[in-house]
Amino acid sequence: DTGVSQNPRHKITKRGQNVTFRCDPISEHNRLYWYRQTLGQGPEFLTYFQNEAQLEKSRLLSDRFSAERPKGSFSTLEIQRTEQGDSAMYLCASSLVGQANSPLHFGNGTRLTVT
């Protein structure tokens, strides 16, 4: 399978704990995005990278959230001091910049439950 891979698929954590998610994009894609999706809503943009550079962060991304893409390949999203409101599906997507039409290809997400 050469699609976007996310791990873990599910994470249950207690409030106040830190969690880290990993995303492996499609190998030739140079852009990587993180989105968050809550029940009954469309995905909401959090941040994106072009290669290793983080180019934009949403106002949704509080200072408890940090994302990295150190070598321009896989990315991690860390949430510190989790809160119950962080419970959501965290989706990663990748695309190839330079193409006129470059749809985002999504992984199957990491579902976070904060108890």
Residue closer to other proteins by CB (options 21, 48) is 48
Residue closer to other proteins by CB (options 17, 102) is 102
CB of residue 81 vs other proteins: minimum separation in angstroms?
A: 26
CB of residue 71 vs other proteins: minimum separation in angstroms?
A: 21
Binding site for other proteins (CB under 8 A): 4, 6, 31, 33, 39-45, 48, 55-56, 91, 93, 95, 97, 100-109, 111
Residue closer to other proteins by CB (options 47, 82) is 47
Beta strands in 51-106 (DSSP E): 53-57, 65-68, 75-79, 88-95, 105-106
